[in-house]
Structure 1
């Protein structure tokens, strides 16, 4: 059984809780697939060990957790407010796979439950799990909100969704 500690960290303790190996592997692969790592393996390894990736050029922070919603929101809000950047939170559940929450810089409200979507060789997209809401294109230049979907129909949507349950890869499949 896993114990989730709801206590705030003491002085000198890390703000971000440790994550599981499976969650960290998905996090590293997500950073590489989205282009945020710039192809530098040493930077990905440092980010995975720290539990978050800060990209000043993209004006974006990406972090990860194994916790369910709404746990970890307060810590991420503090991080985003301190850095004044957009924040993407990767949540990994071994049964449901990877999902994402987005906090836009300066906003007080979270945009929750997005899924990774990608074509072979294309940019990473965060699409709403419920098929309505904003769409986000994520690449080395940052997080860009878009009006329209990156897919033409439901079969393309389904084919491009990446849950990373079995394998940690976030490479496009169609």
Structure 2
């Protein structure tokens, strides 16, 4: 890829110099080839810097995306801990307020099965604690799902950048193997 860019710039430089030579602005063949070599080297250096700067920017972008994925995973763990804490609070509320349901529900509660419990026992729906709990759980789970969507988008962007033919892949940071 780099060689293709350098070759293209060299061809452009040669066409410019041939144009100058045909219009008699360059008088001597030695001057022509000397100018052509300087222009070609200059174009190759410029192309090299462009490729280098582009790859450094892509590298920094991918490092940033990898850090964002890590941050979102940490947030998801925190949200899961909050959800587990809310489940524990709700279990203790049910044990103290509704002892007749204690043997049936304690141990069976899971954040995803709370709606089934509420439908089985309509008296629980009226309790303000239960309403607060359901609201908090819905907020937490929506945050978890939002984080998962963001993680999936960032991972997709990282894979797209990894497959980009205009980026030197050996410069890019390695992608964790558990993502593949």
User: Do they superpose with TM above 0.5?
Assistant: no
Q: Is the radius of gyration larger for structure 1 or structure 2?
A: 2
Larger strand share, 1 or 2: 1
TM-score range with shorter-chain normalisation? under 0.3
Which has a greater percent of helix? 2
Q: TM-score, normalised by structure 2?
A: 0.19
